[in-house]
Structure 1
């Protein structure tokens, strides 16, 4: 059933819910002024919401596309299952494939994502390549499936992915109990969006959350005022456990993807775009080295931003996306 969306959710036109399997997905839709020539599915990351695409949605509608942006599993009005397996890339791909089958049957769409949403883009396209006429990912490069599981703690100990140390903290279930109140969630959002204390201290680094600084953090330019209030209210609906569960699925994803790795890995034949945020302190450019060999038609672009590329420099992000779309429309 469609419903009007509050002003805080502009530029979307309507809000919907659809049941897929055992979960309910809530999504927002934006339509172009005329008959859509196609559709775009956008996936957000952590700790974000569909609203994080606020500057890209008008780009797509101006190009004649309708845009579908779900609240991802665990967020807002979408279900937040207790089972870890439900949050695997494979299971969430199954969910979203069922969602597309219900609302856009027999239509190939453009798929895009940022952060964890971008990580899911790559896997969704492995499992359901026939659903997409193009895929793009912002900040999160393609990591190929592997044939041997190595726990993240061991990878960090061996110096393989030092910028991902924060994930050891976020995957710890005890953190759920430390981020329950409205104020704790507010300060988490401020910390992850670059907020500072009056004397310039941060609340988040690639080492993790610095919770002793939380009480003193002030909102930065990326998320503040009524937008921050809106984000806090959305995270109050189901809490933080579901969003943090995305950090706890490495082993589950490895097991799902082992047959793909044993077969030599995937080969993407559809047009793909990867946008590197050159100043991202976590998803650093070196992490994308070597990914090109898995693609027939990979376009690379760079934006001089930190992690929140979609809102830090939307003009540069939109330019990269528009130029890429024009290559295969």
Structure 2
């Protein structure tokens, strides 16, 4: 991947390095190594890329952080194991732990968006000693409940809900998205166009086939081309396999203390279709909440406001 420039900052996105961790390789974009000792790890969602954090990297480096941005397994040039179970929360969180070990850090601040937030919540539950503090965007902590997550979604939302569709019809959505990654991603990355709306699984498939996108684009054509190139190479199956492990993750977390005690910041978009948590503070008692006037792609739609929210919270934490 060639160096790309963020219009907001006019700062080139870092060049990647392939790093062996946890039995695979991760493509990692790193900046601010001179700030060693203050690591912050940024975790992208679906169907995204480390490049999704391009507006945050220079701001965090300027604030004194060693910024580490992996393409997680299944994405970009990172490894794409063939076994579906290789994408469960134990493997995804294990990759991040091994990444800290690679850099020699005991712990770090972790930031996640969308599925990356799910991974950061899970990492904090499974490896609490490796997470100093956390910031999550869009997806709040998911209470485990009495029924596996996909099973519950099928009961409440039906068999065509896209989480259920991805799980019960393996390969169908993958093939549709792979047909034309440029069209799918162009149609998906629009302001206030929900990527996770409570609608049948066919909604995303129809979006992938739509000739005329709705809404204002979140990124420029040049920026979108970075994601298109990545998914033309990797395909979408690796990322969708994260969904196919949701019920497996539910079982893996059965005996884990469900309370997250680290300081946390939750950032919502007020037009994001992802549902907010009504009991977030019950499970994350040290949480602060910020709401921004945007949709799902928070850090891309409102990059300056996102940076202010994150950096302001981190500064307050440092002052305590």
Q: Secondary structure at the match of 1:209?
A: helix
- Indicate if the aligned counterparts of 1:278 and 1:284 stay in contact, CA closer than 8 A: no
Quote the Cα distance in structure 2 between the aligned partners of 1:13 and 1:191.
Answer: 27
Q: Is 1:122 the counterpart of 2:121 in the alignment?
A: yes
Q: Secondary structure at the match of 1:306?
A: coil
Q: 2:4 aligns with which of 2, 7, 27?
A: 7
Quote the Cα distance in structure 2 between the aligned partners of 1:147 and 1:139.
Answer: 24
Q: Is 1:272 the counterpart of 2:264 in the alignment?
A: yes
Match of 1:176 in 2: 174
Quote the Cα distance in structure 1 between the aligned partners of 2:280 and 2:197.
Answer: 26
Match of 1:20 in 2: 21
Deviation at 1:158, TM superposition (A): 2.8
Quote the Cα distance in structure 1 between the aligned partners of 2:195 and 2:140.
Answer: 25
- Indicate if the aligned counterparts of 1:15 and 1:27 stay in contact, CA closer than 8 A: yes
Q: Which moved more, 1:290-299 or 1:9-18?
A: 9-18
Match of 2:212 in 1: 217
Match of 1:76 in 2: 76
Q: 1:284 aligns with which of 275, 279, 283?
A: 275
Q: Secondary structure at the match of 1:7?
A: coil
Deviation at 1:213, TM superposition (A): 7.1
Q: TM-score, normalised by structure 2?
A: 0.87
Root-mean-square deviation (CA, aligned residues, Å) is: 2.7
Deviation at 1:35, TM superposition (A): 4.0
- Indicate if the aligned counterparts of 1:52 and 1:311 stay in contact, CA closer than 8 A: yes
- Indicate if the aligned counterparts of 2:43 and 2:72 stay in contact, CA closer than 8 A: yes
Structure-to-structure mapping, 1:163-312, within 5 angstroms: 165-171=161-167, 172-173=169-170, 174-181=172-179, 184-194=180-190, 206-207=198-199, 208-211=203-206, 214-218=209-213, 220-260=216-256, 265-281=257-273, 283-285=274-276, 288-312=277-301
Deviation at 1:277, TM superposition (A): 1.2
Q: Secondary structure at the match of 2:239?
A: helix
Deviation at 1:295, TM superposition (A): 2.4
Quote the Cα distance in structure 2 between the aligned partners of 1:54 and 1:213.
Answer: 25
Match of 2:307 in 1: 318
Structure-to-structure mapping, 1:51-70, within 5 angstroms: 51-70=51-70
**Number of residue pairs aligned between Structure 1 and Structure 2:** 307
Cα separation, partners in 2 of 1:290 and 1:128, compared to 1, 3 Å: same
**Unaligned runs of at least 5 residues, structure 1:** none
Q: Secondary structure at the match of 1:86?
A: helix
Quote the Cα distance in structure 2 between the aligned partners of 1:213 and 1:301.
Answer: 32
- Indicate if the aligned counterparts of 2:177 and 2:208 stay in contact, CA closer than 8 A: no
Deviation at 1:193, TM superposition (A): 1.1
Deviation at 1:47, TM superposition (A): 1.2
- Indicate if the aligned counterparts of 2:266 and 2:288 stay in contact, CA closer than 8 A: yes
Structure 1 residues 178-203: Cα deviation after superposition (integer angstroms, max 9, x where no partner): 2323xx1111102211289xxxx999
Deviation at 1:156, TM superposition (A): 4.8
